[in-house]
Structure 1
Amino acid sequence: MLRGEVIDDPTALAALEPHWWRLWASSRTATPFQCPAWLLAWWEAFAPGELATIAVWRDEDLAGLAPLYRERAISGSRLLPVGISLSDYLDILCLPGIEMAVAGIIADVVAKIEWSQWILPDLPADAAGLAISHPAMEASEAVNHAACPVLAIAGDDRLAGCVPSRRWRQLRRAYRAACGRGRVSVWPAQNDPRLFLDHLVRLHGARWAGYGDGVLNGPNVKEFHSHALPPLAAHGLVRCWLIAIDDQVIGAYYGFHHRQRAYAYLGGFDPDYAEVSPGAILIGHAITEALREGASEFDFLRGREAYKYSWGAVDQWTKHRIWTRGSIP
């Protein structure tokens, strides 16, 4: 027997964490962006409205979770997903085999709370959230929302048969140019999240200076990542790489690895070393390590920047859906 409840207290949401991790690990469509390390840190840093998360229980087990909050406005209130904006993928979590039943319970509970519009963006093509329906809610068509270029990877760690030959040659030239400026070293930094984040903030800001200073410049964004990185690292989800020439750190790469998929989330480099392409060297290194870990896909996440396609990535589109109040027949 499934039962649903609304969680509107942040303390109660945090208390779900051990149940949440078990559900996330079982959920067929889960990505790192739905795990409690990411979303609890997001809520702690931003809390932009009233918490209205829906939990679905099967006896003592958490069987489903829709992390939501309510944003009130004069024109009416909206239900939005916890993690919006900074998360490239959003969805509800469900135990496998009962996705339709869980989606039905979530819809029943959502229909009983006050809102005028429920918005779910950034839904993967196989998202459990796309199955949500209810007679009291009118659903829009699921439309394309954002392109996430994805590279299918296979082969050995030389990358020669994995990325376009032109990109492979450019990568080799970049590495030779970097070696011409000194001793090159690349190393993992997820075991020291604070040090890594300091370098990432500095290098990302330097890369985007004068162009809005990058996504880490927003209010509370650095606080969010400082809270999220340690538990993400503790659960083996992050892949953080730094590159240095001699003793100067010139580039940072922040990504994830989950199941057979690697995710390139954020990076930065020192513009004084742009001619040696530290960002490309780090991406090449990240793809190589993803191959060694058994990944079959390398996801560049949202955005259609040209450099992603130079690696051979192909667009996969997320979906966007809106529910509004309807009339019960």
Structure 2
Amino acid sequence: MTLMSLTAEPACPESIPDLTTSPQPATRLVIERRSIDDIPRAAWDRLAGTAPWATPFSAWAFHRAWWDAYGANAHDETTVVLDPARGPGADPVAILPLMHRHEVEATDEERHTTLRHGHETELTPVPPTATAIFFGASYHADYATILAAPDDLDAVAEALVADLRRRSARPDDWDVVDLRRLRCGDPVVDALAAAFRAVEINAGWTLNLEREDVCPVAALPVGGTIDDFLATLDKKERHEVRRKVRRAESAGEVSLDVSATPLADVEAFIDLHQARWGDDGLFPDTMGGAQSRVFFRRLFELFEADGPLRLSFLTIGARRVAAGVTFETPDRLFYYNAGVDPAARDLSPGVVLVERYLRRAIAAGMGSMDFLRGDEPYKYEWGAVDEPIQRLLVRRTLA
């Protein structure tokens, strides 16, 4: 049965869950497990281009980099959906970037492979030993979706659910489907929920759709200036930003520059990140830190030079005081990771870094700067507003 509390906060604002069963399309598609190794980059990215809610986290390069770095932590369950009517050798109708593993592994803390969620959010518990199907790269991707054209989503979801039902005849195949990082408004959520809801009673499954976390996003004045943006902030915050930026500018020329040689410069980024975060950072002297180094290096190797991935350094008076890794698309800047020099604390490098990124995004005509997962207070000082992300959970038996 579908579990929804009438008093619980909905997964998405202004959403009223439809608990009725909708008619499903006749199954005409075929599910096939296919390693990411066997899916051409062009075919993957072409399908991502048909999915309106896909982000750079859906790109082949992101998933390839993740598997190259963290492949020992999970089992590849990448799934393609085929239409027999298109004939043998035709491109897939959809790609579902999936993996499976236990909900919790003993090595998760050391390897930074814990699925963190909003600290004030209580998610439906799942036994740590449960064999779970997740979206691939869930630990390091802030958004996830199915790669398919909108018109194909209902049939794709139905084919996936039918395949999972066949597999459930094997008691050790899977225990839960635990899909995270789903954005509000993504039609993938409605398609999956409808397909699971249509069979859950007969199959003895339980479906939950719940808020997982938030991604604070700052709206930008398209065609405006940084002053137009700062005018939208509270008077106190606006004053503090301007004061800190002026202080940095008085210490020397302030510049945020994209690295022309990110592979050569990635170690400098790592040094700044670790200087700020230490053992809590991504790159400590552990197995997980080594995997994170591989991941970031592979990201910069695999994303093309004219793609969305950027490594930038903030300099004040020719001194590097901060660095950031972003994904930049025509309409949004995704603020993925950063590091600052603690010795430059008096110059407020973190504030100046964000201010310069905002200038860049506004100058490029972007409509928003996305601070991605987590409700850290500094994000709201920039006027960011929460955009929730959802979790779709299916359990084979009521716990």
TM over 0.5: yes
- Residue number among 181, 185, 198 corresponding to 1:126 in the alignment: 185
Alignment pair present for 1:159 and 2:183:
no
- 1:15-38 superposed Cα distances (whole Å, 9 cap, x missing partner): 332100101112111011111110
Match of 2:65 in 1: 41
**2-side partners of 1:138 and 1:196: how far apart?**
49
- Residue number among 144, 150, 153 corresponding to 2:217 in the alignment: 150
Whose strand proportion is higher, 1 or 2?
1
Alignment pair present for 1:261 and 2:291:
no
The 3 A distance-change label for structure 1 pair 204 and 63 is same
Alignment pair present for 1:108 and 2:167:
no
Match of 2:100 in 1: 70
- Residue number among 144, 148, 152 corresponding to 1:90 in the alignment: 144
SS at match of 1:4: strand
Which residues of 2 match residues 135-214 of structure 1 at below 5 A? Answer: 135=199, 136=203, 138-156=205-223, 158-163=225-230, 164=233, 165-189=235-259, 191-209=260-278, 212-214=279-281
Alignment pair present for 1:52 and 2:77:
yes
Aligned-CA RMSD value: 2.3
Match of 2:9 in 1: none
**1-side partners of 2:304 and 2:320: how far apart?**
21
**2-side partners of 1:231 and 1:255: how far apart?**
15
What amino acid is the match of 2:166?
Answer: K
Aligned residue pairs: how many?
321
| Mean CA deviation greater in 126-135 or 268-277 | 126-135
Q: 1:226 deviation in Å?
A: 0.6
Output the TM-score relative to the length of structure 2: 0.74
| Mean CA deviation greater in 310-319 or 287-296 | 287-296
The 3 A distance-change label for structure 1 pair 194 and 100 is same
Are the counterparts in 2 of residues 66 and 106 from structure 1 also a CA contact under 8 Å?
no
SS at match of 1:290: helix
SS at match of 1:208: helix
Are the counterparts in 1 of residues 36 and 78 from structure 2 also a CA contact under 8 Å?
no
- Residue number among 53, 74, 77 corresponding to 1:29 in the alignment: 53
Are the counterparts in 2 of residues 206 and 213 from structure 1 also a CA contact under 8 Å?
no
Gaps of at least 5 residues in structure 1 are: none
- 1:203-223 superposed Cα distances (whole Å, 9 cap, x missing partner): 1111113xx331343330111
Are the counterparts in 2 of residues 26 and 95 from structure 1 also a CA contact under 8 Å?
yes
- The higher radius of gyration belongs to 2
Gaps of at least 5 residues in structure 2 are: 1-27, 104-127, 168-172
**2-side partners of 1:36 and 1:311: how far apart?**
32
Match of 2:117 in 1: none
Are the counterparts in 2 of residues 187 and 243 from structure 1 also a CA contact under 8 Å?
yes
